Amino acid sequence: MTLQTEQASHTPETLADSLEDKLNRQMIVILDFGSQYSELIARRIRETQVYSEVLSYRTTAEQLRQLNPKGIILSGGPSSVYDAGAPLSDSEIWNLGIPVLGVCYGMQLMVQQLGGKVTRAKRAEYGKASLLIDDPTDLLTNVEDGSTMWMSHGDSCQALPVGFETLAHTENTPCAAIADHQKKLYGVQFHPEVVHSVCGLALIRNFVYHICDCEPTWTTAAFVEESIREIRARVGDKRVLLALSGGVDSSTLAFLLHKAIGDQLTCMFIDQGFMRKEEPERLVKLFKEQFHIPVEYVMARDRFLAQVNGITDPEEKRRRIGHEFIRVFEEESRRLGPFDYLAQGTLYPDVIESADTNVDPKSGERVAVKIKSHHNVGGLPKDLRFKLVEPLRKLFKDEVRKVGRSIGLPEEIVRRHPFPGPGLAIRIIGEVTAERLNILRDADFVVRDEISKQGMYHDFWQAFAVLLPVRSVGVMGDQRTYAYPIVLRLINSEDGMTADWSRVPYDLLETISNRIVNEVKGVNRVVYDITSKPPGTIEWE
């Protein structure tokens, strides 16, 4: 959509639903062999406006036949195909008559299973390499000769199966791209899905459109229309409860549900006291006055602060905050209820990576055993059972933003920086107190206010302040001070998996520093974190 392991334990049955049947007659399946890029392949396919799904490499040929995808992609992976216990696909997939593209490990598996030979390469190849094209047609149409592709392999194909030919090579890899044109089986030793591969998207488009003959049916408008129909059909006249956080996921979900079922939706916002300055009040006012979606505001600040009193371990903080959230949610849902359905802002990466839902053996309905709230911690009691409504569970974050825009969500929410579930509680290192919360709230406000004034808010993935539990000596007004330092954390990232510190203009840093030490009582020093992820993390706790 110009919208998109056991890490790979999912089966087609758990992922296929009526919405997919309607929208995804044009579908590409990615079989995951443990690659860090499997999800990225799916996103790249969706950028071509064709639906894609990540399934386990254990998915059988018969299951694939029933799904009837237009194409299959075999992901990369950390194994060697000749190792004992290496993950193998069902060998019958080569006989389905469905085009297949093997990427890195996927290509080597194709070669091995079809009678070729894969061995340890004389020279491993990692990073950028120039692709020298031998056949510029079909898969490599519009891929420039000598273009940069991203390599990551220690094995190499030494002999190709009967019927295959070489499409491209590199200085170190004689078979960098291969094909059996008659059977529509293709392989590439590099990773076309990563941004470092200059013509990678062109290659993917060739496979999707020219080889698999897909049409661009995965659009925002089609998704919204079909989602509304499905929500109405599923919910009927029943009531739905949504835990609202104010982030793009829950806000988009609230808009979508309200369009579908109106007053049958109840939004609950639990103010745990760890939000940013004036954010809870602004959120409730925005939804009520501008969006005309009522929100049940639950003030619970004192309860949450009491739970973390004296706690310094970050994991214990998260556990206590999550546990208290569950208690408050349970109490308030009973007060406002009864409800038949719980709406969750589950996204597709959650579906791929999580196993936090069960299926009711009697009804076959998925039931909640873990709240996917803005806390992302803890779980609902098993005896508090709802049927789930998860309209966003097939979308990536960038697709959610596009859906949000299409249904009228304002940019201030659509492009809101990610915010951790436990909020400011994990941006205060060590013990959380009311005093420290107030200090951090004010410092964080200065950061966001200043980058907004400079027109730079959207230049960062995240920009925030951290309070350290130490004090340093300073001089203010000819007097000695002994106050807290504030750490500035401004980073750039595409997906939060990796991140780099932002090269911020010195003038901006100076302005933020001056404002914090002058406007925020209790702070006399500001420092800048220049650690990337890895080795660091985005958050400090």
Please pick, among 191, 258, 374, 375, the residue that the annotation labels catalytic. 191
HSE, CB side, 13 Å, CA atoms: give it for residue 536: 13
Candidates 106, 108, 104, 124; CA nearest to 116 is: 108
Would you call 210 a catalytic residue per the annotation?
Answer: no
Q: Residue 389's CB: how many other CB atoms inside 10 A?
A: 28
Would you call 191 a catalytic residue per the annotation?
Answer: yes
The rounded distance, in Å, linking the Cα atoms of 298 and 286 is 16
Sign of the CA dihedral running 461, 467, 468, 471: positive
Candidates 41, 27, 352, 4; CA nearest to 188 is: 41
Pairing outcome for strands 71-74 and 100-103: parallel
Would you call 125 a catalytic residue per the annotation?
Answer: no
Q: CB-based contacts of 131: which residues, under 8 Å, 6+ apart? A: 143, 145, 146, 147, 148, 149, 168, 170, 176, 177, 190, 199
**Coil, strand or helix at 65:** helix
**DSSP H or E segment with residue 122:** strand 117-130
**153 burial class (0-12, 13-18, 19+ CB within 10 angstroms)?**
buried
Please pick, among 39, 47, 53, 193, the residue that the annotation labels catalytic. 193
Residue 486 pairs with which residues in a beta bridge?
Answer: 467, 526
Q: Kindly list the strands in the beta sheet with 366-368, ordered across the sheet, starting from the edge strand earlier in the chain.
A: 295-299, 265-271, 240-243, 341-343, 387-389, 366-368, 357-359
Please pick, among 10, 47, 104, 332, the residue that the annotation labels catalytic. 104
The rounded distance, in Å, linking the Cα atoms of 465 and 100 is 48
Q: Which residues are catalytic?
A: 104, 191, 193
